[in-house]
Structure formats: C-alpha cells, structure tokens
Structure 1
Amino acid sequence: MSSEVERRFRVDLLEWGKENRREYPWRESNRTLYEVFVAKFFLTQTPADNVAAVYPRFLERFPTLDAIAKASEDELVEAIVPLGFQNMRAGALKQIASKHDHLPTEPESLMELPRVGRYVANATLCFARGDQLPVLDRNVERVYSRVFRDTWPEAESDQLAFTKRLVPSEARSYNLALLDLGALVC
C-alpha cells in the first residue's frame, strides 16, 4: 500500500469527521481519564445512546474511583441496570476501585484491569489525553477492511500494527471520525 493512499485516507477521514461528528458527553475535550474510562467501559457491547442516558447520572453519583470503592455493589448495579450486563460491570468496577486510587496511564496496565481490553485501554488514553494510539472495534475494523481490502491483515496482532501506522498526531479527531464513520456508514 502506498503512503499516498494512507495520507489521502487520513485527510479525507479527518474532513469527513468535522462534518459528521456525533456529540456525546464523554467526547467533551475536558473529560478526565476516569470519566472517559467510565464511558468506554460502558460502551462495550452497548449502544452509545443508551450510555448517554445513564452516563451523566452515574458520574454525578460516582465522580471518582473512591466513590465507587465506597459504594455497595447493589448501588452500582442499580445505577447501571439500563445498560445490561449490570452485575458483571458493577463487579468489575468494584474490583478496580478497591485496588486502585487512580487509573493506570499505560495501555498494558489498563488492560490488566478486569473486563478491560485493548479497545477500552487505547480509547481511554487517546480520548482523555490525546495519546497516539489506534482504536479498533468491530465497526472500525469494517471500515479498514473495506478501504484497505487488498492489504488488510487477518490476524489481530497484524491489524493492530497496521492501524498503529495510520494514526496521525491528531489521534483524537482521527479516532473519533473512524468510530463515527463505522457507526454511521459501515
């Protein structure tokens, strides 16, 4: 694949993203690492509009990991029941909060937390801090496989290397545009 094709894709995607950006409370640029993490944790297997309905109330009630640590698991379940998987999510959040005063700031360390995979780790750090990391969920994978159909690798580790190469310094805008394109078009 030529570097010109990659460059053109980045330029076009960033342009498209400016015109088609979806607005959600966790996408505000002033969100903390914790606030972005909560959103990304909830967005796993859950539509964004469902998370948007629960997210502000959850942060009001549990503004920090310490607040989660002090809450009962039943309180957490009650707060996130509309999202589904409430027992699993509440248990994982409780485990995280009981062992950590603050969230790790490296992808590998975040992935050591219960129920946190590569997507949640990379997305959290990219959207909260602007880290130049790729985000790769099913929708984004579909975008890449369609755009780069002849060169898109099958192995997940190769896909990560492939996408890492494409992420520009404007990683936050680029990754948001990718997620929006995947959700709205692909």
Structure 2
Amino acid sequence: MTQRQLLHSQNSLLSWYVTDARSELPWRKTSNIYHIYLSEVMLQQTQVSRVEAEYYPRFLKIFPTLESLSKASLDEVFSLWSGLGYYRRAKNLHATAQLCPDGLPNTSAELEKLPGIGRYTASAICSFGYKQSVSVVDTNIARVLARFFAKVDVKDKELWVLADNYLNLKSATEHNLALMDLGAMICTPKNPKCDICPLITGCIGKENPALYYKKKKITYVDKELHHAICIEDNAIAMVKSKEGMYKDMLELPSLEAHKHEDTCLGTFKHSVTHFRLKVFVYLVEDLGEDITWVALDSIASAPISSLTQKAFAMYEKSVA
C-alpha cells in the first residue's frame, strides 16, 4: 500500500466514523478513566446493548469511583456483577481498585501489571481514556485487518504489527474506535456489508472475506449438576465456592442425586463458558454440612450467579 493509498483509506475510515459510528455509547462520552476501564472489562464477554442499558449504569450508581469500589467488599461487587458471568473479571476489577484507588497508571506497561489487564485492555485505556497514539486490537478490529490486508490464519503478533502500521497517528483514538465499530456493524463475521464499507477500495480480501476469518470452534462439554434448596426460618442454605468459575461466591449446596430423587423440583438448562449444563434442583430438609444461611429477602443482593438465581426462581415457582 502506497502512502497515498494509506492516507485515503484512513480518511475514508474517519469520515465514516463521524457519520455512522456508535458515538452515543456512554463510555465514549466521558473522559473518566475508571468509567472507560469498567466498560472495557464488562464488554469482554457481554453484548454492548446489555452493558449499556443495565450493568454499566447500575454499577456506576453504586461505585462511581475507583476509591468507592476499593472500599467495597468482594461480596458487594459480586452481587452487582450477577448475570454478567465470568466472575473473575469482577474479582480482578475489585483487586485493581484496591491497588489503585486514586487512579490508574497511564502507560500500557504499568497497566498490564494490574490484575486482569492484558495487552488489549491496557491499549484501550491508553487510547480511549488517555488519548494516546497507540493501536488497539480486539476481535472486531482483528477481523477487519485480516480481511483488509488479506491475511489467512494470521497470528496475534502480526495483527498488532498491522495495526501499528495502519494507525492514524493524528487521530488515533477515533481511528481505533472506527475500526472497532466497522467490525461490529459492517465487517461482520457472517455476511459482511462490503458494498457500503468505507474501506472497500483498498480492501485486498473483499472478493472472499470468509477466507480471512475463521471462527474458532468451541467444543462443548455436557454436564449435570445437582443442587439442594434447604429453607429454614425464612433463610436459604448456601455454601461458599472454593474453586472454579464461581470461586468466593455463594452457591447452592451440591448433593448426591440418587438419595433425593423423590424431592426433585425440576431441571433447567444453563450454558457457561464451554459447558452445557443440565441442572437438577431438589428440595431437602437436612444437609448435614457447614453452610451459610442467607435471608430470603436478601437473595437479590447476595453474591450469587445467574445459575443460582434460576434455581431459586424454580423453587419460588414451586411454592407459589
């Protein structure tokens, strides 16, 4: 690509950004580094619409600053994170706030030393928050670059090099956001809208975009879970998870299904990471193990997962 072609492509991208990008998103209307960081963490595994409408504003209402988040208990953070999944993100967010209550560092190198912050998140904070001229590569941008430069099975390292070379140093923040939105709105995984893409002129892979994007196949594992609901004095029995994806959160006790077949309230399906779960819920009177009692009227604010919420909803329906 000649220098003239590069400039033309960059200008076309920025012109599209001005008229068509998602400028209404709340984390794009703020210069608050913490708010931008929070949005990046939430968006890692959750749809933009859900983060924008529900989780982002609710979280900031309770914890508007890093300092306020640093003073919260992990249980409080988990309760607000319920439904977002991937709870390690919440734990890392909380740990980072405790390390940096007065503000996040302003270099990628220092940011990557913090819990849960990798190269992408560090670059995003520097670009979108601190307005630095650094490239950013997320899933959407990676797909755009691979197609634009016609790279098959391109490695992450090469994608970052492409991003660096293609970066518009004079408008780096807008350039990165434009590429991100282009991947989300135009250069989509399936059926990309090449006819309205601002980069169509210089795109080398436009004739066969599918060739330059291969989604990784997820191998799902089927698994059964058996959980007990035990109610006493308007409280429900819970245990604190010591490992796995729900570590440090409260969950319903597990039990041996064959001993409680007659008390099964029902089953439901639940998907998380690479697991496809079939969850059995039982109503029992005695657990015979160390448990934590949680008042029924405080379940909504307890640090529980969406899986546990579904199980409790099944119980509520059974006694309604």
State TM-score, norm by structure 2: 0.54
Q: Deviations over 1:126-145 (max 9, x none)?
A: 11121111110111111111
Q: Indicate if the aligned counterparts of 2:145 and 2:162 stay in contact, CA closer than 8 A.
A: no
Q: Deviations over 1:134-181 (max 9, x none)?
A: 11011111111111116x893322321221122221112111111110
Query: 2:100 — aligned with what?
Result: 100
Q: Distance in 1 between matches of 2:100 and 2:75?
A: 20
Structure of higher RCO (CA pairs closer than 8 Å, 6+ residues apart): 1
- Partner SS, residue 82 of structure 1: coil
Question: Aligned-pair distance for 1:123?
Answer: 1.0
Q: Percent identity?
A: 34
> Residues 4-45 of structure 1, C-alpha deviation per residue, up to 9 Å, x if partnerless?
2322221111111112111210011x3211111111111112
Q: Are 1:62 and 2:63 counterparts?
A: yes
Q: Name which of structure 1's ranges 94-103 and 106-115 shifts more when overlaid on structure 2.
A: 94-103
Secondary structure at 2:82's aligned position in 1? helix
- Residue 155 of structure 2 corresponds to 155
Counterpart-to-counterpart distance in 1, 2:158 and 2:148: 16
- State how far apart, in whole Å, the 2-side matches of 1:129 and 1:99 are: 19
Alignment of 1:51 onto 2:47 = no
Q: Deviations over 1:76-111 (max 9, x none)?
A: 1111223221x2122111211222232111011111
TM-score by length of 1: 0.91
**Alignment partners' CA distance in 2, 1:48 and 1:149:** 28
Asked if the contact 1:92/1:114 (under 8 Å) is kept, the reply is yes
Query: Partners in 2 of 1:5 and 1:113 — Cα distance?
Result: 39
Name the residue aligned to 1:18. 18
CA distance 1:59–1:76, shift in 2 (3 Å): same
Alignment of 1:175-186 (within 5 A): 175-186=176-187
1:102-121 aligned at under 5 Å gives the runs 102-121=103-122
Structure 2 residue aligned with 1:141: 142
Cross-structure match for 1:165: 165
Kept in 1: contact 2:39–2:56 (CA 8 A): yes
- Judging by fraction of residues, say which structure has more strand: 2
Work out the number of aligned pairs and report it.
183
Q: Which residues of 2 match residues 23-34 of structure 1 at below 5 A? A: 23-28=24-29, 30-34=30-34
For the Cα contact (< 8 Å) 2:106–2:130, is it kept in 1?
A: no
Change (3 A) 1:67 1:31: same
Tell me the residue number matched to 2:36.
36
Aligned to 2:83, the other structure's residue is in SS state helix
Give the Cα separation in 2 of the matches to 1:111 and 1:3: 33
Please give the alpha-carbon distance, in whole angstroms, between the structure 2 residues aligned to 1:55 and 1:176: 19
Q: Which runs of 5+ in 1 are unaligned?
A: none
Deviation at 1:57, TM superposition (A): 1.8
The aligned amino acid for 2:47 is P
Letter in 2 for 1:79: L
1:50–1:83 CA contact under 8 A, matched in 2:
no
- Structure 2 gaps of 5+ residues are 188-320
Alpha-carbon distance in structure 2 between the residues aligned to 1:31 and 1:60: 17
Q: Distance in 2 between matches of 1:180 and 1:129?
A: 20
CA distance in 2, matches of 1:111, 1:42: 17
Q: Please identify runs of 4+ aligned residues in structure 1 that moved more than 6 A.
A: none
Of 3-12 and 119-128, the range deviating more from structure 2: 3-12
Q: CA RMSD for the aligned pairs?
A: 1.7
